Homo-oligomer: A and B are copies of this chain.
Amino acid sequence: MPKTGLSSEEIKEKALQIAEEKIRAYSFEKFRLTDIAKELKISQAALYNHFPDKAALLDAISERWLAHMDNTLEHIANKEVPPRQLIVKWFLTYHQLKKEKVLKDPELYKSFNMAAELLKPFIIDHLDNLNRQLLMLVQKAIIAQEIHAKSPENVVQLLLESTISFHHPRMVLDHKDENREGLLKQVVETMLEGFHE
């Protein structure tokens, strides 16, 4: 029986909450494991029973957010709406979620080393999810004859590539004070129109 009266999962969850608070209050660079331990009323070393190291704790925060994002998008992807319209909606939501995150936690983004980030399993998993969802939408749109294309995979790649400034963290940060939803809508619709015939 644990001495805090909490399960490992509960401790983990609380640790992540506190970490997010600290990062928001101070900054990404300055938050300390000792602060988390203090607030949890356990020793700093005891955190290592729940997380292999500090990086793993930080990754867990990102992972949690990405899971939330995947779910929200999945929910949209499964709506009963004409697929082409849904693709536009999906991209707009994707953009909004990223922007929301950047606005809320700019510290979380600034220091991202994208090259290293892309190798992490939970990021790969997230990107897979996005690809899978969008592929499904594109396939539906092809079946519904709303767009025409030999390779739905290629359509997915082109759509994601041409909208990168609306979902790539760095680019989203650059434009955080602008409303670019109208522009995104136009880009996606023009691309879809390009696949029309």
Contact surface of A with B, Cβ cutoff 8 Å:
114-115, 154, 157-158, 161-165, 168, 170-171, 174, 183, 186-187, 189-197
Contact = CB atoms under 8 A, between A and B. Distances in A.
Contacts of A165: 161, 164-165, 168
Contact of A164 (B154, B158, B171): B171
List the number of copies, as a whole number.
2
Contacts of A164: 164-165, 171
A191 B161 CA distance: 12
A193 B165 CA distance: 21
A156 to B, nearest CB: 12
B195 A183 contact: no
A149 to B, nearest CB: 10
A186 B171 contact: no
